[in-house]
Structure 1
Amino acid sequence: MKIVGEGANRVIALHGWLGGSECWGRVPDLIDRSSFTFAFIDYRGYGERFDQEGDFNLSEIAADTIAAADKLGWQEFSVVGHSMGGVAMQQVWANYPDRVLSLVGIAPVPPTGVGMDTVTRQLFERACTDADARRAIVHFGTGNRQTDDWVQNTIREGVAQRSELALQKYLRAWADADLTSILSGRRDIPILALFGEFDGALKEDSQSSIWKKSYDRVKTQTIKNAGHYPMDESPLFLVEKIEFFLKKYEEM
């Protein structure tokens, strides 16, 4: 677990499927450390927890997030989640609503999971073990705008961050997620959902209605000049939007 800042606004950051706690680009360097304290954690099977056994599902991530907060002495906190972390953050709130103040999703998987056609699902399944498949996913996620070197560096940064078994099980967890039943009647949590302008799959115009159907206090917004990885593509703008929301969410 990596701690950045010493501010009163406490935030736990949940990473995406293809990277661990070290795959947040420049975000840790840009945080307003006097106002915020961020805890960047790894899931089981990733990073410093690479060898830790587990079920590798969303409820386990939620329980481990609470364990991390307890270790830090945080009774209440907000959660920021990227991609898979976007549905994991919802599971944290669903399971522990008294602990979570607000949610910020970055290219977040919605509460309904992500429906894929057969070809796309097979691509993601191959990506658990195949670097070419991972490159194809990152290229698609960034709107085929980034260079091969950029994509390769993104993949290389995360390659030592995750186990193949974890990737396989977490893929089923986020892609096939359906939190709608457990969220029924529990809609009152401030949420900011941020989507990259060039994301190949999760764009604001297609995702906004899904989020607003599930939650009453949700705001969606597009991150300009970014795809699925705004922490690498537009980090200054991303951090500005996150911090502004976390300081103002009580006004929603």
Structure 2
Amino acid sequence: MDLRGYGWSRGMSGSYTLDEAAADVLRTADELAITRFHLVGHSMSGLVAQKIALQARGRLQSVTLFSPVPPTGFRADEAAMKALNAVIDEDEAAGRAITARTSSRYGAGWLRRKLTIAREASTIEAKRGYLIMFTSSTISGETHGLSAPMHVVTGALDIPFYRGEPLRNAFALAYPRVTFETIDDAGHYSMLETPVRVASIIEKQLAG
């Protein structure tokens, strides 16, 4: 499903908080009469998936996270927030961010396509709201009570925050059944860079 302000939910506004996003997902599952389910999340939605997993841990069969924000959150000082807001407002800043998250390995055509996707996928209001969400939220509570297996997938060509040892340590400390996998040929956008590999990883988790 698309979060408020994104994709097919682009016309839905909200407070863009972690609690709201988690509640929307669980309400959707209820309306579809899905009692047990697998969760898949990417980047900031990896934080949302963790929140859902702890709120509805008895309903979870597995959690698969691609390049996720760790449970400790994404802490950003004033300078970092200025840079992240520039990514929302300025194509040049967004292009630099995309290039950094793919180790500068793609050409101008792909960069234009990725930037178009980013601009058309969501509203400015949603972008700003979720930016505040994932730079000010952490996952707390009885994380060790999550019995469902969690699989964290990182891209070897991503920026260090989304693939480094601190991220792995944060997940390992929080969740008892976490496993890790690296996609050597992907950066932050593995679903676009290596779609067959991503689909295969998800299928493996569902089958398990």
Do both proteins adopt the same fold according to a TM-score greater than 0.5, normalized to the shorter chain?
yes
Give deviations 1:51-79, integer Å, cap 9, x for gaps.
22211111111111112212222111011
Partner of 1:166: 126
Paired amino acid for 2:148: I
Counterparts of 2:146 and 2:58, CA distance in 1: 13
Aligned pairs for 1:141-152 (under 5 A) are 141-152=101-112
Give deviations 1:134-174, integer Å, cap 9, x for gaps.
21111111112122221220120232221111111101111
Partner of 1:88: 48
Say whether 1:209 aligns with 2:169.
Answer: yes
Partner of 2:196: 236
Counterparts of 1:116 and 1:148, CA distance in 2: 29
Counterparts of 2:154 and 2:10, CA distance in 1: 29
Q: What secondary structure, in the 3-state scheme, does the structure 2 residue paired with 1:54 have?
A: coil
- TM (norm. structure 1) is 0.77
Counterparts of 2:112 and 2:11, CA distance in 1: 25
Counterparts of 2:52 and 2:119, CA distance in 1: 26
Give deviations 1:219-242, integer Å, cap 9, x for gaps.
011111100011111111222122
The structure richer in helix per residue is 2
Say whether 1:179 aligns with 2:139.
Answer: yes
Is the CA contact 1:112–1:179 (under 8 Å) kept in the aligned structure 2?
Answer: yes
Deviation at residue 96 of structure 1 after TM alignment: 2.0
Is the CA contact 1:204–1:222 (under 8 Å) kept in the aligned structure 2?
Answer: no
Deviation at residue 117 of structure 1 after TM alignment: 4.9
- Larger relative contact order (Cα-Cα within 8 Å, sequence gap ≥ 6): 2
Change in CA separation of 1:72 and 1:217 when aligned onto 2, cut-off 3 Å: same
- TM (norm. structure 2) is 0.92
Give deviations 1:168-192, integer Å, cap 9, x for gaps.
1101111222113x23552433100
Say whether 1:109 aligns with 2:69.
Answer: yes
Partner of 2:14: 54
Partner of 2:157: 198
Is the CA contact 1:62–1:92 (under 8 Å) kept in the aligned structure 2?
Answer: yes
Is the CA contact 2:44–2:69 (under 8 Å) kept in the aligned structure 1?
Answer: yes
Stretches of structure 2 that go unaligned for 5 or more consecutive residues are none
Is the CA contact 1:194–1:204 (under 8 Å) kept in the aligned structure 2?
Answer: no
Out of 60-69 and 47-56, give the one that drifted further.
47-56
Q: What secondary structure, in the 3-state scheme, does the structure 2 residue paired with 1:179 have?
A: coil
Work out the percentage of aligned pairs sharing the same amino acid. 27
Deviation at residue 83 of structure 1 after TM alignment: 0.3
Stretches of structure 1 that go unaligned for 5 or more consecutive residues are 1-40
Counterpart of 1:188 (choices 130, 134, 147) is 147
Paired amino acid for 2:32: L
Aligned pairs for 1:120-135 (under 5 A) are 120-135=80-95
Is the CA contact 1:86–1:106 (under 8 Å) kept in the aligned structure 2?
Answer: yes
Counterparts of 1:58 and 1:47, CA distance in 2: 18
